[in-house]
A and B are shown apart, each in its own frame.
Chain A
Amino acid sequence: MSDSQTNVSTTDSSQLIIQLRGMHKWYGDFHVLSDINLEVHKREKIVICGPSGSGKSTMIRCINRLEEHQQGQIIVNGTELTNDIKNIEKVRAEVGMVFQHFNLFPHLTILENLTLGPIWVRKTPKKEAEEIGMKYLEKVKIAEQAKKFPGQLSGGQQQRVAIARSLCMHPEVMLFDEPTSALDPEMIKEVLDVMIDLADEGMTMLVVTHEMSFAKSVADRVMFMDDGQIVEENNPYDFFDNPQHERTKLFLSQIL
Chain B
Amino acid sequence: MNDTTNNPREHLAAPIRKIGAIAWLRENLFNTWYNSVLTILTLAVLWMIVPPLFSWAFINSLWDSSAEACRDIDGACWSIIPRNVKFIFLGFYPTGQEWRPILAMLLLLGLVFYSKERKRWKKALGWYWSIGLIVMGTLMYGGIFGMPIVEPAQWSGLPLTLMLSFFGIVAAYPLGVLLALGRRSRLPAIKTLCVVYIEMIRGVPLISLLFMSSVMFPLFLPEGVTIDKVLRAQAAIIFFTAAYIAEVVRGGLQAMPRGQYEAADSLGLNYRQTMRLVILPQALKIVIPPSVGILLSAFKDTSLVVIIALYDILKTTKVTLSNPKWTGYSTEAYVFLAVLYFIFCYGMSSYSRRLEKELHTGR
Q: Which positions in A face B, CB cutoff 8 Å? A: 64-66, 85, 89-90, 92-93, 95-97, 99, 101, 103-107, 116-117, 120-121, 149-152, 165-166, 169
Contacts and interface: CB of A to CB of B under 8 A. Distances in A.
A151 B269 contact: no
13 contacts: A64-B265, A89-B270, A90-B268, A92-B265, A93-B267, A103-B262, A104-B263, A106-B362, A107-B359, A116-B267, A120-B273, A150-B363, A165-B267
A218 to B, nearest CB: 22
A107 to B, nearest CB: 5
B266 interface: yes
A160 to B, nearest CB: 15
A87 B265 CA distance: 13
Nearest to A92: B268
B362 A105 contact: no
A151 B260 CA distance: 14
A89 B268 CA distance: 5
B361 A107 contact: yes
Given A105-B278, A106-B282, A169 B267 contact: yes
A117 B267 contact: yes
A106 B363 contact: yes
Given A93-B267, A99-B262, A120-B277, 4 more contacts: A89-B268, A93-B268, A105-B264, A117-B268
Nearest to B259: A103
Contact of A117 (B257, B269, B282, B362): B269
B262, B263, B285 — most chain A CB neighbours (10 Å): B263
Contact of A149 (B262, B268, B362): B362
Question: Which 8 interchain pairs have the tightest Cβ spacing?
Answer: A151-B363, A93-B268, A151-B362, A103-B263, A103-B259, A97-B266, A117-B267, A149-B361
B263 A152 contact: no
Contacts of B361: 106-107, 149-151
A45 B262 CA distance: 23
Nearest to A93: B268
B285 A107 contact: yes
Interface of B: 257, 259-260, 262-270, 273, 277-278, 281-282, 285, 359, 361-363
Contacts of B260: 103, 105
Contacts of A97: 262-263, 266
Contact of B267 (A92, A106, A150): A92
A96 B266 contact: yes
A165 B267 CA distance: 9
B268 A66 contact: no
Main secondary structure of the interface of A (DSSP, over half): mixed
A107 B281 contact: yes
Contacts of A90: 268
B268 A169 contact: yes
Contact of B363 (A116, A120, A149): A149
A152 B362 contact: yes
A228 to B, nearest CB: 21
B242 to A, nearest CB: 24
B263 A105 contact: yes
B312 to A, nearest CB: 38
A63 to B, nearest CB: 10
A107 B282 contact: yes
A107 B282 CA distance: 7
Contacts of B278: 105, 116
Contacts of A151: 361-363
B266 to A, nearest CB: 4
Contacts of A120: 269, 273, 277
Nearest to B282: A107
Contact of A121 (B262, B267, B281): B267
A104 B264 CA distance: 9
Contacts of B281: 107
Given A101-B259, A106-B282, A106-B361, A66 B266 contact: yes
A90 B270 CA distance: 10
Contacts of A85: 270
Contacts of A121: 267-269, 273
Nearest to A91: B268
Contacts of B266: 64, 66, 92, 95-97, 166
Most chain B CB atoms below 10 A, which of A85, A89, A93, A165: A89
Nearest to A113: B263
A103 B363 CA distance: 12
